[in-house]
């Protein structure tokens, strides 16, 4: 999962950089409303980063956290429960 996030974001960065070097002059062409090609590409890269963070976190919640809970439960059975007290959160 982590590798997929890295690959997607690396690909997005590489595409932007290659286009920056090869097609830079066309970046000022307006594509949608006032937004030019360069701004749309950067916006797309920002969205890729944001979406991959959200999707990765959701996938971890679904697939990884239950396994971590099992490990903690096994650990608690061995050494006893650990007191939970928070700062700005659940106590």
Partner 1 sequence: MNTHHALGGVPHSGLFTPLTSFIFFVAAALVVCLVVSMNNDTVSDFYIANGKMSPVWNALALCGDYLSASSLITFLGAVALTGFDGMAMAVSAILGLGILFLLAEPLRNTGRFTLGDVLGNRIGGDAARIAGAVITLAVCLPLTVVQLAGSGVATAYLIGLDSSATAQVCTALTGTLMIMFAAFGGMRGTSVIQITKAVLVFFAVLLVAAVVLHRFDWDFGAMMDTAERNALQPDGFYIPGQLYGHTTTGSFELFSAHLTVAFGAAVTPHLIMRVSASRDGRSARRAARYAVMASTVFFAAVVAVGLGAAAVVGGQAIVGDDPRGNTALFMLSGSLAGGPTTTLGGIVFTVVACAVFVTALAVVAGLTLAAAAALAHDIYAQVIRRGRIKEENEVSAVRWAVVAVGVLSVLLAIGLHNWSFLFLTLFAASLAASTILPALVYSLFWKGFTRTGLLWTIYGSLVCCVVLQVSGPTVSGDPLALFPGRDFHWFPLQNAGLITIPFGFVLGWAGSRLGRHAPVDRIREGEAEARLLAGVGSDTGTR
Contacts with partner 1 by CB under 8 A lie at 2, 5-6, 9, 13, 16-17, 20-21, 24-25, 27-28, 33-34, 36, 38-39, 42, 45-46, 49-50, 52-54, 56-57, 60-61, 64-65, 67-68, 71-72, 75, 85-90
Smallest distance from partner 1 to CB 42, Å: 5
Smallest distance from partner 1 to CB 91, Å: 9
Nearest to 12 by CA among 43, 55, 54, 57: 43
Q: What is the rounded distance in angstroms from the CA atom of residue 59 to the CA atom of residue 4?
A: 12
For residues 52 and 58, the answer to whether their CB atoms sit within 8 Å is no
């Amino acid at each position: 999962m982590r590798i997929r996030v890295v690959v997607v974001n690396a690909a997005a960065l590489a595409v932007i950089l290659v286009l920056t070097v090869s097609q830079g002059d066309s970046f000022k062409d307006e594509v949608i409303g006032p937004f030019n090609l360069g701004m749309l590409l950067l916006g797309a890269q920002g969205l890729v980063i944001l979406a991959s963070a959200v999707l990765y976190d959701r996938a971890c919640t679904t697939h990884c956290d239950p396994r971590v809970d099992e490990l903690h439960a096994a650990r608690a059975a061995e050494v006893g429960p650990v007191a939970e007290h928070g700062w700005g959160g659940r106590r």
